[in-house]
Amino acid sequence: MADPNIATKAPESDVQEELTPQTSPSPVAGEHCVTDRPLPSGRAATGEIIDINGVKVYISKPSDYPHAPARLLLLLTGGTGLKSVNNQIQADKYASEGFLVAMPDLFDGDAAPNASILEEEDTGSSLLDMVRMRAVEATKSFMIDMWMARHTEEKILPILHKVVDGCKEKFADAVQHGDGIYAVGYCIGGRYILLLGSETPAPTGPVDEEAGAVRRAPLIKVGALAHAASVNPDDFKNLKVPVSLVCVENDPLFPDDVRTLGEDAMASANLEHEVKVYPGVPHGFAVVGQYDDEGIKEAQETAYDQMLRWVKEH
C-alpha cells in the first residue's frame, strides 16, 4: 500500500516548503483524533448516557445482563468524545462480547473542535491557493492546540477517578466478576490507559492527603490501546498491568522512538505486553468508521480483534 504521505503530496508542495520556513514540533493530537469517519450503514448506538459521580458516562450492557454476569470495561475515547456515535458503537461492540462498558466524558462536555468544519475545496495550485491552504492548516492546528491546553492530565485524571470510584459502587457485581476493571483506549484516551495502569510513586516530601498526593495502586487490571496520542516515555515508567498496543507505522502522534523506549521499559520491567505495528493505515483507523480502502477496513477489524482478545484473556 502506498505511503499516504507520499500518495497525497502534491507536486507544488516542494515550492510551498520553500516559501515557508519549516519546523518539526512533536504533535500531541491531530485531525484524526478529533474527526469521526462516516458511520457504517445501518448502525446505531444502543446504550444510554447516565450520571456517575457528576460525570456523564455512556453505558452499554450485554443483552443478557444482569441475568448473566459481565466484566466491567472502561472505554476511553479520542477527542470526538462521549456523544460521538462512532465511539458509542465501539462501546456497543465490546458489550456484545460480554463486557459492561462505561465510556466517560473525558472532556466535561467540551469535545474537540471538528477539523472538518475548516475543510476547503482544492481550487487550484496557484500561489494564492497555497497560501490559503496553509492558513487553513494553521487554523486547524491552533484550534486543536487550544483545545488540548484546556484538557490536561490534571483535568482528566480526576474525572477518571470519579468514574472508577462510582463504577466500583454502581457496578460492583461486574467489577467483582472480573476481579478488577478492564480498559481500552483510543487516540488521546490511549495515553490514559497507561496512566491508569501505573503505580503512582509515594511523594518525597510531606504528604497532602486532601490533595491526593498519596501512593496510588493501578486502577485497572489490564489495558489495550490503539494509536495513542500525547504519549511520552515517562508514561511507561511505573506501568504495572499487562498492555496491548495497536500502533500505526510512522505515526507522528506516537513516534517510533517513543514507542521503542516504551517497549524497552516494559521489557526491562518484565511486564507482559504485546505491540503490533500496522502499516499503511492512518492514525485513528481502529475507531468504528467507514474507509474505502480494503486494507484499512481489514486492519480495523484486526485491531479490534487484537484488543478484544487481550482483555478477554486477562
Q: What is the pLDDT of residues 236-277, one digit of tens each?
A: 999 999 999 999 999 999 999 999 999 999 999 999 999 999
Domains of the chain, by residue range, sit at 4-17+28-201+212-313
Which pLDDT does position 119 carry in this prediction? Answer: 40
In the predicted model, is pLDDT for residue 149 greater than 70?
no
> Can you name the residues that pair with 200 across neighbouring β-strands?
216
DSSP state of 280: T
Is pTM beyond 0.85? Reply is no
Helix (H) or strand (E) holding 173: helix 172-177
User: Hey, what CATH class is 4-17+28-201+212-313 in?
Assistant: alpha beta
Angle between helices 153-170 and 188-196 (to 10 degrees): 60
Which residue has better confidence, 236 or 149?
236
The band of 131, judged by pLDDT with boundaries at 50, 70 and 90, is low
Residue 213: burial class (beta carbons within 10 Å; 0-12, 13-18, 19+): middle
Which pLDDT does position 1 carry in this prediction? Answer: 43
Residue 97: burial class (beta carbons within 10 Å; 0-12, 13-18, 19+): middle
